[in-house]
């Protein structure tokens, strides 16, 4: 069975969406978001098609933030922060 880009990226996207939902109700998720993005970059980075997977992950985060209602600013903030962190991963 061959893994697809969607199949590999979706669980990572949903992890961030879950954190964004938690942030809306007042939970401080910044540390968890950073850890989730770092783990995603490590896991996707080990795949043979890493650049495609990482680009798809960033695109999905940005699309989710763009499509979110403007009445959900904290949700959007978490998604955008995750996309920015994925785009510019910190060394280490």
Count other C-beta atoms under 10 Å from residue 90's C-beta.
Answer: 9
Structural domain contains residue 92: no
pTM score: 0.92
What pLDDT shows up at residue 16? Answer: 98
| Averaged confidence pLDDT in the chain | 94
Tens digit of each residue's pLDDT (9 = 90 or more) over 15-30: 999 999 999 999 999 9
Tell me how many domains the chain contains: 1
pLDDT band at residue 1 using 50, 70 and 90 as cut-offs: very low
Structural domain contains residue 56: yes
Mean pLDDT confidence for 82-86: 97
Determine the Cα–Cα distance for residues 40 and 12; give it in Å rounded to an integer.
6
Determine the Cα–Cα distance for residues 60 and 85; give it in Å rounded to an integer.
14
Structural domain contains residue 22: yes
The whole domain housing 67 covers 5-87
Structural domain contains residue 53: yes
Structural domain contains residue 37: yes
């Amino acid at each position: 069975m061959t893994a697809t880009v969607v199949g590999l990226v979706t669980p990572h996207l949903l992890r961030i969406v879950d954190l964004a939902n938690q942030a809306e109700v007042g939970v401080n998720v910044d540390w968890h978001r950073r850890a989730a993005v770092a783990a995603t970059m490590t896991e996707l980075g080990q795949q043979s098609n890493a650049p495609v997977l990482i680009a798809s992950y960033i695109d999905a985060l940005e699309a989710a933030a763009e499509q979110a209602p403007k009445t959900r600013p904290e949700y959007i903030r978490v998604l955008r922060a995750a996309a920015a962190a994925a785009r510019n991963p910190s060394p280490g």
